[in-house]
Amino acid sequence: MDGKFIKFGKNLVTTDEFVAEGHSFCVGCGEALALRLACKALGKDVIIANATGCIEICTSPLPVTSWRVPWIHTLFENTGAEISGIEAGLKILMKKGKMPERDIKCVAVAGDGGTSDIGMQALSGAFERKHDFLYLCFDNEAYMNTGIQRSSATPYGASTTTAPAGKLSIGQTTWKKNMAEIAVAHDIPYVATACPSYPFDLINKVKKGGEVKGPAYVHIFSPCPTGWRYPTDLAIEIGRLAVETGIFPLYEVENGRYKLNIDRPKLRPVEEYLKPQGRFRHLLDGEIAKIQEHVNEEYAKLKAKVACFAA
Amino acid sequence: MTEKRLKTGPDFIWRDMEVGNIVTEAGSAALRRTGDWRSQRPIIDKERCNKCGLCWLYCPDVAIKLLEDGYYETDLFYCKGCGICAKVCTREAITMIEEEEE
């Protein structure tokens, strides 16, 4: 904790590490990188409530912990409720003068299962009550720490252990749940999607989400070499391809106003993203065309929303 | 943090735990060696390096350290050998070599 910065063009990144090295994330984990960058953006005045998931088990293997900031483990289903309680508690303690007035960020950290499947109800409630907190969803598109079971964030066509591809099945048969849009529907001040392949974009969004008064939601795409079955050195490329093919567009929604952060004049074909990954290896041309069509449709919808507010 | 508590595997027994299984030190995971997971080792070529720092920025395991002179070096105590640094290096200054038994 020496408070030094490294300069990348106009961006400054602190050398402080709030998640200690020596954690047990898999080799080449995109989520570990996303978490490291997000914690750099948040700084040390933060309280983190962490749902069960890859991040929780990999950063707190007894008898050690990776965390250098206040951290609490919650269950899958109550991250939203827990962070609401922390925020309300801090507010009343400061109001009664039992602790000095300070700007402490309340941050909930969960995986895609803890957000879009199990923790959805508590999260929706916390959004609705307009607590001042930031929710970070690290989306690796399945329950990775228990052995790659499908979640509602698993994309169409992906093979997982509970939705295996075979003669009669193509793997996951439903489309990925659009969690960021669900957060937008709660009419909260800040929603964004981010990817560790674009580190400064991610840092800026997490910083912004932490500073906003009221609930904020950042959906972070986290490539997973183990579950997605690609070589360990490809995490950054896979993230970039997801953004450039339009499968995971990077946008932010401030008070209902959409803004596209990375906008390519022409999207790359989805095949480039699907090909390096073993979980999509079984897909035939017909299925790939279907995915391409869906991506084009969703991207056009997003562009229309962005165009609405451009004028 | 005493050496006693850093024991792993069969040497680590319940008596080595704190009462109530509490963890008494923040960031104590930094004492764990994750470098022995590695099957490949990154080698940084200082001649080609232009100190851009992308390897440091993209390393998921915080295994790239900034030196006094502005260059970077790999910390093999933590490096898991994923090869992301070699991929993101625009100057091809990092190469991955096979880890061999000593």
* pTM to 2 decimal places: 0.93
Mean pLDDT score across all residues of chain A = 93
> pLDDT, tens digit, for every residue of A173-208?
999 999 999 999 999 999 999 999 999 999 999 999
Q: Is any Cβ of chain A less than 8 angstroms from the Cβ of B82? A: yes
Q: Chain A residue closest to B8 (CA)?
A: A63
Give the closest-approach CA distance of B90 to chain A in angstroms. 13
pLDDT at B96: 93
Q: Is the pLDDT of residue A2 over 80?
A: no
A47 bridge partner residues: A106
Question: How is chain A split into domains, by residue range?
Answer: 18-310
- Kindly indicate the confidence band of residue B9, based on its pLDDT and cuts at 50, 70 and 90: low
Burial class from Cβ neighbours inside 10 Å (0-12, 13-18, 19+) for residue A39 reads buried
Q: Is the pLDDT of residue B3 over 70?
A: no
pLDDT at B99: 85
Closest partner CB to A68 (pick from B18, B26, B61): B26
CA A138, chain centre distance (Å):
3
- Do A20 and B30 lie within an 8 Å CB cutoff? yes
Q: Is any Cβ of chain A less than 8 angstroms from the Cβ of B57? A: yes
Domains of chain B: 34-98 (3.30.70.20)
Thinking of the domain A18-310, which architecture would CATH place it in? 3-Layer(aba) Sandwich (3.40)
Reduced to 3 states (helix: H, G, I; strand: E, B; else coil), residue A176 is coil
Q: Is any Cβ of chain A less than 8 angstroms from the Cβ of B84? A: yes
pLDDT at B102: 67
Task: Please give the share of chain A, as a percent, with pLDDT higher than 90.
Answer: 87
Q: Report d(CA B71, CA B50) in Å as an integer.
A: 8
pLDDT at A32: 94
Q: How many CB pairs under 8 A join A and B?
A: 112
Residue in B4, B13, B62 to test binding to A, most A beta-carbons within 10 Å: B62
pLDDT at B2: 44
pLDDT at B4: 44
Give the closest-approach CA distance of A169 to chain B in angstroms. 32
Q: Is the pLDDT of residue B1 over 60?
A: no
- Do B86 and A233 lie within an 8 Å CB cutoff? yes
Q: Alpha helix (H) ranges present in chain A? A: 30-42, 54-59, 79-95, 112, 120-128, 179-185, 199-211, 225-228, 235-244, 271-274, 285-310
Mean pLDDT along residues A257-271: 91
> pLDDT, tens digit, for every residue of A268-278?
999 999 999 99
Task: Please give the share of chain B, as a percent, with pLDDT higher than 70.
Answer: 89
